[in-house]
Amino acid sequence: MLQVGDNRRARWRNGIPAMPDLSVPWWKRTLTNPWLWITLAVVAGCTALWFYFIDRLAGTREVVLGPEKIVDVTVTRDMIWDLALPGALPTWLVLVGIFFLIASFGRARLSALIISAAWGASVSTELALHINNWFYSRLTNLGGYGDMASAVFSAPFGEELTKATVVFVLLIFLRYRLVTAMDIVPLAGLSAVGFAFTENLLYFTDMIASIVGYQEAGAGVDLNTYLDELIFLRGFATAFAHPLFTAMTAIGVVVALRARSKLVRVLAPVAGYLFAVLLHALWNGMAGSESAELMYKIVALPLLVATIGLLVIAYIRHVGRVRERLVDYGRMGWLKPTDPKMFSSPWKIFSARWRAAWLLFRPNFTTSVRRLAGTWRMQYLMFELAYLRDSMVRGIVDQAGLTREKALLFEIRSLREIAIDEPGGPVDYPGRAWLRRWRERRRGGPAAAPELEEPAGAQPIRPRPQPARQL
């Protein structure tokens, strides 16, 4: 029999977290969760670093207007907040929403997603900026081609490394939860989206400074026209570039996590990172050249479609694995027979979430909130139970997973009475109920059921007394 110390060592060896004590109130469990305080500390530090970065964008800078014409331009904070930020924020919000939606069908913690987004927008950008500046100064001294050489040779290595670092760090602490493309690709994507958001602010501010410099020199240049073109280019046409590059590293990590070969586990992430660097270098090398549009059409867009196709295939394999493993528990009677089909169908999963969300508009708000939280929690536990079973079958997790398995089944059973675990009929929206009551009032009340006439000679049906049952 395992002792407490042996059980802890076994859980740590397999990366299995301890189950929370359900007898403790949820708010107390939340406040004592170390990931809450880690997330708050990381977000606070990243926010301070981001504001420090933005503060450095404001000020006086030199703008080169010609071979021998340089003017000093003052960029104010109001220019950044009023012109640059509105151009970068919509793209960031849309892409963050997409990656959070993808992650909702996986097992990644909300805290991990928030940390990735904060890291990419601050730490990754700051580190990459210092790396690029250092390489730029060295390459300029060597050959005088600092701009192009830095963009092609140093920027891809530094930027892809800083964006992917947070993924590798989170994998060390959350290796039990991050096992599929639905878990890891959103982490890498959020880091890349945050990086692109801050980088866009840098580019937009540079454009504002250049246009203001031309205007002060007497050139009739419209600021909004050029800025709108740059916002369309970086915020829409090429908004997928950074997430696409970093997704290559994430795919390499996914291949490594489910591989049995030690060689594949080592080489797959390295190959994914090098492929991301190669794509990034090609992108930067052809940007602004005559072949940029050709590369965009024959390389970037097809690669984006291929990556989306890989995610779709990964999700199909994900739901197939969930269904296959939950069937084992259904055969043993530990789950309902309908659970495998329910929790492996994206439409039924989303339908349950949608139904639980609309119940918030009902009078009993507290119960509706508990039902919504319980529905999400049950789906998350079903995913975890399926992958725990798969890891035990594949030999990735040893007998230490049995304790976790029993605890998961117990918590799933406790959530049955509050969570939505089966898709119902049409959702009774608040507006639909109001419309139904309005129609009934116009008709003079709810329609009565038609009376049925008894056939001629029929005897009236009377209830037959039943004998008392002996206990």
At residue 65, the pLDDT reads: 74
Pseudo-torsion of CA 402, 398, 249, 169, nearest 10°?
Answer: 80
pLDDT band (50, 70, 90) for residue 430: low
Pseudo-torsion of CA 42, 43, 49, 50, nearest 10°?
Answer: 150
For the segment 15-39, what is each residue's pLDDT rounded down to a tens digit? 787 777 778 887 888 888 899 999 9
At residue 149, the pLDDT reads: 64
At residue 455, the pLDDT reads: 45
For the segment 92-139, what is each residue's pLDDT rounded down to a tens digit? 999 999 999 999 888 888 999 999 999 999 999 999 999 888 887 777
- Pick 247 or 1 by higher pLDDT: 247
Coil/strand/helix, residue 258: coil
Mean pLDDT value across residues 425-447: 64
DSSP 105-144: TS---HHHHHHHHHHHHTHHHHHHHHHHHHHHHHHHHHHS
Mean pLDDT of the chain: 84
pLDDT band (50, 70, 90) for residue 434: low
At residue 197, the pLDDT reads: 97
DSSP 163-214: HHHHHHHHHHH-TTT--SHHHHHHHHHHHHHHHHHHHHHHHHHHHHHHHHHH
| 263 pLDDT more than 60 | yes
At residue 105, the pLDDT reads: 86
At residue 1, the pLDDT reads: 44
Full-prediction pTM beyond 0.75? Answer: yes
pLDDT band (50, 70, 90) for residue 144: low
Tokens of 466: 């039943």
Coil/strand/helix, residue 372: helix
Q: Which of 188, 190, 47, 189 shows the shortest CA–CA distance to 123? A: 47
Q: Which of 318, 372, 360, 368 shows the shortest CA–CA distance to 343? A: 318
- Pick 178 or 289 by higher pLDDT: 178
N-term to C-term CA, the chain: 44
Coil/strand/helix, residue 352: helix
Entry field: residues in the chain: 471
Q: Which of 1-10, 299-308, 439-448 has the lowest mean pLDDT?
A: 1-10
